[in-house]
Amino acid sequence: MGELKGEIKKIPDSQILIDTISLQEAKDSNEVKNIVTTDDELYQADIDTKNIPQAAKKAQNYASALKLGYSIINVKGILTLNDIKKVQQLVSTNHPIRKVPGTVLKNPTTQKVVYTPPQNHNQIMELLSNLEEYINEPNFHDIDPLIKCQLSIISLRAYIRFMMAMEEQVEYLICST
């Protein structure tokens, strides 16, 4: 990591590299949910903002969320629950933190339930508060900071992916009726 940080300073506009990495992460993350886009579509969407394929738009939103989270941490040094909500709004604008039970993720073809997330609003808030404390409190989990960083990223990715999957379920239900 230290070597990479030293090398990135040699690039005249290092933001290009960061933007490319965040777009690739977004593209790969979307593929997990069968939202497939090409590199060409992603980069074209940066140039032509009027005719963006839906999959490319979702990847752009995800990349914007990653950049916002990174920016918040750079400025504040921490990531609060309110910050997580701001990041969530970029990937899932119509889905705030759930208050009503009954949410499940289903296979769109078979309608079989593939995942049932926590249902109780208080439990969801408790889990998000736990994540916030884990990310920000150095003594919460005494492990190597790089491992802790990776675990935090995995947790945030899982949360963001879930919110994006919820958006997909709603779109599927609306479009199939």
Distance CA 23, CA 15 (A): 12
H helix or E strand, kind and range, residue 168? helix 145-175
100 and 67 part of one domain: no
| Domain contains 142 | yes
pLDDT band at 98 (very low <50, low <70, confident <90, very high): confident
**168 and 104 fall within a common domain:** yes
Task: State the average pLDDT for the chain.
Answer: 76
Give the pLDDT band (50/70/90) at residue 85. confident
The pTM of the full predicted model, rounded to 2 decimals, is 0.65
Residues 120 and 71 in one domain: no
Q: Are residues 50 and 112 in the same domain?
A: no
CA-to-CA separations, 17 to 12, 14, 30, 75, 147, in angstroms, rounded: 10, 5, 20, 20, 23
Residues 73 and 99 in one domain: no
> pLDDT at position 161, please?
63
Dihedral sign for Cα 12, 44, 87, 117, please.
negative
CA dihedral 8, 138, 144, 64 (to 10 degrees): -40
Domain assignment present for residue 89? The answer is: no
First vs last C-alpha separation in the chain: 50
Judge if 69 and 100 occupy the same domain. Answer: no
Whether residue 73 sits in one domain with residue 99:
no
* Tally of domains within the chain: 2
My answer on whether 61 and 133 are in the same domain is no
Query: Is 128 a residue whose pLDDT tops 80?
Result: yes
Q: Are both 99 and 28 inside the same structural domain?
A: no
Q: Are residues 9 and 55 in the same domain?
A: yes
The pLDDT tens digits of the residues spanning 41-72 come to 877 877 777 888 888 888 888 888 888 888 88
Based on the fold, state whether residues 73 and 120 are members of the same structural domain: no
Specify the pLDDT at position 175: 47
pLDDT in tens, 2-49: 455 566 667 777 677 777 777 777 777 767 666 777 878 877 877 777
Domain that holds residue 15: 1-77
Residues 172 and 99 in one domain: yes
